Amino acid sequence: MKKRVNVGKKILIANEEYALKNSQFLAKQKKLCLNMISSPGSGKTTILVRTISELKNKIKIGVIEGDIQTDIDAKRIKATKAPAVQIETGGSCHLSAAQVSGALNNLPVSDLDLIFIENVGNLICPTAFELGEWGKIAVLSVAEGDDKPAKYPAIFAKSKVLLINKIDLLSIGALVDFDIERVRADVRKLNKDIKILPVSAKTGQGMADWYDWLKEAVKIYKANN
């Protein structure tokens, strides 16, 4: 088991080197990069598609799409006309910084203001691998239940923003039990600085606050780098 730990550490260290390279590249180009992490089906791609469409005259967005298999999500992004690069991990449960480094070479970075990395759908493993992003965005859909921050704390502890998605389902309260205040309280215990935004990427409810946060983050990142 000792060997396993050492090799695991080496993999993480090699990843950190690529992550540092990516973050230096992005800082030099003054491009904000956000790493979006959630369970499968929380709505990451739907959030991105709506965000790209709504902000198209204000922020130029590019996307790096991570998936185990298929380019279903990259096709959905490309339908918005935003540049997107697909990484098929072929079974791996998270993106690596080396993969992101390759993808950055295939994006028209100088034309963009903001680069989203949509990680593989997995609430656990992607949290341990820095990709060179400025910040992580966690997504939790109300259909997943309000006990998730307690059960999977790492991603909530590390993120700049938590998007609580699919709040349209709460209007049918009898079908979805989800206590937003329990989530707020559990997440605040893990991370006092996180911005918590309840949204519906489907109906648009609450999304204006997310767009405001993004516009501000792009502006501040440009000014500080």
The residues binding its own copies (CB under 8 A) are 3-4, 7, 11, 39-41, 67-70, 72-73, 91, 93, 120-125, 141, 143-145, 147-148, 150-154, 166, 168-169, 172, 175-176, 202
In the sheet that holds 161-165, the strands lie side by side as: 84-88, 61-67, 114-118, 32-37, 135-141, 161-165, 195-198
For its own copies, the closer of residues 65 and 133 by Cβ is 65
Taking the alpha carbons of 83, 75, 137, 23 in that order, is the dihedral positive or negative? negative
Measured between alpha carbons, how far is residue 169 from residues 143, 144, 173, 175, 201 in Å? 8, 11, 7, 8, 12
Distance of CA 172 to the CA centre of its chain: 27
Considering the complex, what minimum distance in angstroms separates the CB of residue 144 from its own copies?
3
For its own copies, the closer of residues 178 and 210 by Cβ is 178
Considering the complex, what minimum distance in angstroms separates the CB of residue 182 from its own copies?
12
Considering the complex, what minimum distance in angstroms separates the CB of residue 185 from its own copies?
15
Considering the complex, what minimum distance in angstroms separates the CB of residue 96 from its own copies?
11
Considering the complex, what minimum distance in angstroms separates the CB of residue 23 from its own copies?
23
Considering the complex, what minimum distance in angstroms separates the CB of residue 176 from its own copies?
8
For its own copies, the closer of residues 113 and 186 by Cβ is 186
For its own copies, the closer of residues 177 and 216 by Cβ is 177
For its own copies, the closer of residues 175 and 223 by Cβ is 175
For its own copies, the closer of residues 145 and 206 by Cβ is 145
Q: How far apart are CA 93 and CA 90, in angstroms?
A: 9
Largest CA distance in the chain: 53
Query: 168 with 205: CB under 8 angstroms?
Result: yes
Q: Which residue has tokens 């185990």? A: 68
Query: 213 with 195: CB under 8 angstroms?
Result: yes
